[in-house]
Structure formats: C-alpha cells, structure tokens
Amino acid sequence: MPRLTLSTVSKRFDDFQAVDGVSLTIPDGAFLALLGPSGSGKTTVLRLIAGLEVPDGGEILFDETIVAGHGAFLPPEKRGIGMVFQSYALWPTMTVRGNIEFGLKVGGLKPRERAARIEEVLKVVGLAGLGDRRPHELSGGQRQRVALARSLATRPNLILLDEPLANLDAHLREAMLAEFRRIHSLTGSTFVFVTHDQDEAMAVATHVAVMDHGRLEQLATPEELYRKPASPMVARFIGRGRTLPVRVLKSEGGRTRVMLGQQLLDMPGNAPVGYGWLCFHASDLKRVNEGGHLKTELVGQVFQNGSLLSHCLPTEIDGDVVSLPLDERIAPGTPIELVITDGWVIGEGRGTHSNGDVTRRSSTCRPGVISLR
C-alpha cells in the first residue's frame, strides 16, 4: 500500500474555493479520517485522491508517483483504488457474489481465481455463506459490507470511503465501525474515510485530518487532536471543547504561564507570548466553593449521560459558556466557581481576538479581549 501525499492541493468550482492549499502525508496502512463540518471540502479531497476531480494546483502522490499535478493525471481506473459510498451502489438484480465478481472480471481474473477471491473477501467482511443473496435480502449493514468486500476484492492500493455509515442507524453504525477497524487491521490497506461525525472519526482512525473552509486545520492522531488542538476551530470542534481568551506571559518547554482575567495559571501549551486561547474540555473543570480560576453563573442544566450537564457563563471575563457535569440541581443565576485542572494553550493563530475571524469560523465563540470588570 502506498504512502499518500497531497502537496498544496487546491480546487475551485467557478469562483468557489472548495479546497485551499491542502498538504498532508499519511503512511502506508494508515486509516485517515477526513473530518469537518458540512461544505468544508472533505468529499472534494476524496474525489481528488480518487481522480474523479482534477486539481487546479498542487500535486497528489502515491509513494513517489505523481498521480495528479505537474501536468500529470492518472485516471481513476489506473490508480488502484476501491471506493465505498454511503449509497452502497450495489446492482440490485445481481447476487452478492455477482456484485463482487464484476470488478474482478473487468480486471481479467480467471473464473477459478475469481471464485477464490470472492470467498476470501466474504470471509473478511463476515458474510461467508451469503454469496447467493440479492441486496434486498440483506440488512443495511450487510449491504455496506458487500460494498466493502467488492472494493477489497480487487486488492486496491487505497480504499476510499465516503460517509459509508450515513444511512445506518446509530446501533448498526457502532457495530460497523468496529468491523471497519477489524477489516483495516486484517488487510493492512490504507483507508481514507470521509465523515462529519467526530465520534466516528475518533473511534476508527489512526490519523484525523480536520478541515474547515477548504483548508486543513490539523492532521494528528485522535488523542493529539483532543489534547493538543492546533487552532481554536479544532479545539471547539473536537470533544465539544471550549476556549477562553488568555494573555500568554511566558512559554517554555511545553508549559505556558497565562493570565485568564486576573488569574495567573500555569498550563501545558505551545504558544508565543501575546494573546492566546486556553483550550479545555468538561472533564478539565471542577467546581470549588472558593478560590476558583473562573467565576461563573449557572445558566442552565440538561440531564445527560447520568448527570446534569451544567452550563455556566463566565462573569469576570468576556468568554463563552463552559459546561461540566454536576450531581445536583441548582437554580439558574447561582454563582459557580470553577478550577481548570488541565488544558492546552495555543496562540491566537488564524482565529484572532480582535478582527472577528473567530466568529466567522465558529458561531460558538464570541471574540473579544479579556475585559476586567
């Protein structure tokens, strides 16, 4: 399986920049999730990798071979890829075996090799014995497995999956995610998976590429994205994270000293001195009776996952609502003091405190300098 490289790849549709200078490299056998909000350019990146779109700029390489860019363009059928769509795209009148066999016939495999290959992939996807069924005799999950088996049968270099679980219910989706993980490790193939569902991406992928407005915000492992977001957008998008504006006073050896309002905090991070963001999750907040880092007021509670997810609005700094699970019902308006036990400090980056860029990129955060009231 090849290493996949995109180097400053761009694609415009008329005057709309759908993909804007995306560069990434993933190693052989990786499971890459392209994750981002609707319209962020994920599917267009997948189609560019497949050869279903031609980039306007940049290049795409499988190992050292340029498949698109610099005047070169390898058509989809020559790229050695398998594609799985959310619609399955199975031929309804053909049996499972017939659906899988079609691509093998086109590939010129002899009947005996075809039969052996079909049995092999049916076993891999857990459908041994169902080769004579037709698509309407299968469940949604089984149909998606046939689509995957059909892609695997031709032993492609890359398997590209475009929201393959979108048509399945939540329970089946979880089961299929586990299946994808199992099949990925069994085959050692490189998978690229498009999804707008971060739980899906984080559960299944070895690498996650977060996209926004056609740009790559960050490429990292799921753990790194969660713990060390590279931009305010990633911090807020992953794990329902929150950001608060801070002033970075010192930054050394992966630690930063920051001012959050009038509170001095020492936090992990990697930010230049100046304005920055403190990124954290609900699990990093703890309620205390006094001496908290953040003074807030309770604005609402929702019963979720066995506890009361409590939304609290900072009262002494100009920051967004933060949320944490609490055990008791509390009247709205009650003052709540919070300690921030962990987090990650980043520079103001492309989302700034002052020029409104942050609001354009996320509706959940108000921009603004820390106001000391």
Ligand X SMILES: Nc1ncnc2c1ncn2[C@@H]1O[C@H](COP(=O)(O)OP(=O)(O)OP(=O)(O)O)[C@@H](O)[C@H]1O
Residues that bind ligand X (CB under 6 A): 13, 16, 18, 36, 38-44, 196
Tell me which residue of 24, 6, 28 sits closest to 184, measured CA to CA.
28
* Backbone angle region of 332, left / alpha / beta, with phi > 0 → left and psi within -120 to 50 → alpha: beta
Q: Which is nearer to ligand X, 45 or 147 (CB)?
A: 45
| Comparison of 43 and 352: residue with beta carbon closer to ligand X | 43
CB of 134 to ligand X, least distance (A): 29
Cβ distance to ligand X smaller for residue 88 or 277: 88
Residue 55 contacts residue 68 (beta carbons within 8 Å): yes
**Which residues have a Cβ under 8 Å from the Cβ of 120 and sit 6 or more positions away?**
none
Residue closer to ligand X, measured from CB, 44 or 144: 44
Q: How far is the CB of 19 from ligand X (least distance, A)?
A: 7
CB of 36 to ligand X, least distance (A): 5
Tell me the sheet residues that pair with 23.
none
Q: How far is the CB of 18 from ligand X (least distance, A)?
A: 3
Spatial distance between the Cα atoms of 320 and 360, rounded to a whole number of angstroms: 15
CB of 261 to ligand X, least distance (A): 37
Return d(Cα 339, Cα 177) in angstroms, integer. Answer: 36
Closer of 181 and 196 to ligand X (Cβ) = 196
| Geometric angle at alpha carbon 43, from 181 and 226, rounded to 5° | 55
Shortest CB 311 distance to ligand X, Å: 28
Q: How far is the CB of 251 from ligand X (least distance, A)?
A: 34
Q: Which CB sits closer to ligand X, 36 or 349?
A: 36
Distance CA 155, CA 212 (A): 32
Tell me if residue 42 falls in helix, strand or coil: helix
Q: Going by DSSP bridges, is the β-strand pair 65-69/72-73 parallel, antiparallel, or unpaired? A: antiparallel
Beta carbon nearer to ligand X, 16 or 303: 16
